[in-house]
Amino acid sequence: MSSTSFTNATAASALSLLTGSSKALERNTIHVAAGRNINEAADNAAYWSIAKAMESTGMALSSAEDASGLAAATADTAALGMEAATGIVSEIQAKLILARSSGADKNAINSEITQLKAQLGTVSASTSFSGENWLNAGAGATPGVKSLVASVSTGEDGTTNVNTIEFDTGTTTLTSSNNAADGMLTRAYSGTTGNGSPYEYYMLDAGSTTPAPATAKEIKISDATTNNELDGMISATNSMLSSLTDAGAKLGATASRISANTEFVKSLQETNQRSIGRLVDADMEESVVKQRSLMAQQQLQTIGLNIINNRAKATLDLFR
């Protein structure tokens, strides 16, 4: 009787060990399949909580990267339009200088200037991306400050903060259908020429609700245009070119800043992913070795349990 009790206790102990090994093998198999040591809070509540918070930050960073990409595209588009407009105004100035030469056909030159001005209007109106146009202000619109998403950060209390880059489109507006003074090509430029003659000219008439001053004239020439008037137009275009160059520099600097920030956000995302991996990912080499060890252990314990059961059966057979 004591032998039978001993055998039953041994079998129960072996079964308990086999059950533990089977559960350990099952857990390790899940870790290997998922590639993670921590799949739920029960595995390690502290690490699981931190990893979940970091995953949320990663999603926010991904959204910030997408928004930053849109901002970069908008800035690049505006910079391209500004560069084109600067080139066209330079051509117009060259035509005006040519018109000042003796025997120049001013009517023919004006025809070319008219075409170039039409091209300027097209550049201003069509330089848009995803509905954003930083070069043209439509009817009733006023240029203003745009907030561009740069990145996101998490405060000590867990709140998510959106960091932005501010850009004032008032510094890049070429044409305005609302107020001519808002556009670099629709506002009037005044001053005096080298010989003391006053001038006041604007490049384009956009039909603005608030037009350029009545004393200002649109840049266009004819055979009746005097050299003094041409000098005034050349001086006005020179002022326009200075404004366009400054605007182009601001756009370029903003585009460069957005691009650098996009790369930084991308790097933050990669770092965030690596950090999550360090917390929850399984060491696959170690996990595979452990898997094989647990399988071998389970097989040996199964064999041991079978031996114990067979011995118990043989003992019982002696009393039959």
Mean pLDDT per segment of 10 residues, for the chain of length 320 residues? 51 63 60 60 72 74 81 92 96 96 93 96 93 90 88 73 88 95 96 90 95 95 94 96 96 88 79 74 57 66 66 59
The C-alpha atoms of residue 217 and residue 88 are separated, in whole angstroms, by: 20
CA 43 from chain centre, in angstroms, equals: 36
- What does the DSSP 8-state code read for residue 185? T
Decide if 68 is inside a domain.
Answer: yes
Check residue 95 and give its pLDDT: 96
Q: Are 142 and 208 in contact (CB under 8 A)?
A: no
Check residue 159 and give its pLDDT: 76
CATH number for the domain harbouring residue 171: 1.20.1330.10
**158 and 238 fall within a common domain:** yes
The C-alpha atoms of residue 105 and residue 102 are separated, in whole angstroms, by: 9
**313 and 184 fall within a common domain:** no
**309 and 166 fall within a common domain:** no
CA 29 from chain centre, in angstroms, equals: 40
**206 and 161 fall within a common domain:** yes
Give the tens place of pLDDT for each residue, 179-236.
Answer: 999 999 999 999 998 888 899 999 999 999 999 999 999 999 999 999 999 999 999 9
Decide if 42 is inside a domain.
Answer: no
Q: Are 293 and 47 in contact (CB under 8 A)?
A: no
Decide if 48 is inside a domain.
Answer: no
The SS3 assignment for 153 reads strand
**268 and 292 fall within a common domain:** no
Domains in the chain, number? 2
Decide if 40 is inside a domain.
Answer: no
Q: Are 311 and 35 in contact (CB under 8 A)?
A: no
**106 and 172 fall within a common domain:** yes
Decide if 44 is inside a domain.
Answer: no
- List the alpha helices (DSSP H) in the chain: 2-34, 45-99, 106-126, 227-280, 284-318
**125 and 273 fall within a common domain:** yes
Decide if 191 is inside a domain.
Answer: yes
Tokens found for residue 275:
């950090």
Decide if 41 is inside a domain.
Answer: no
**13 and 69 fall within a common domain:** no
Check residue 314 and give its pLDDT: 60
Residue 304, domain extent: 2-35+288-318
Label residue 135 left, alpha or beta by phi (over 0 means left) and psi (-120 to 50 means alpha).
Answer: alpha
**222 and 168 fall within a common domain:** yes
Check residue 148 and give its pLDDT: 86
Decide if 197 is inside a domain.
Answer: yes
The C-alpha atoms of residue 280 and residue 303 are separated, in whole angstroms, by: 35
**306 and 200 fall within a common domain:** no
**295 and 267 fall within a common domain:** no
**120 and 219 fall within a common domain:** yes
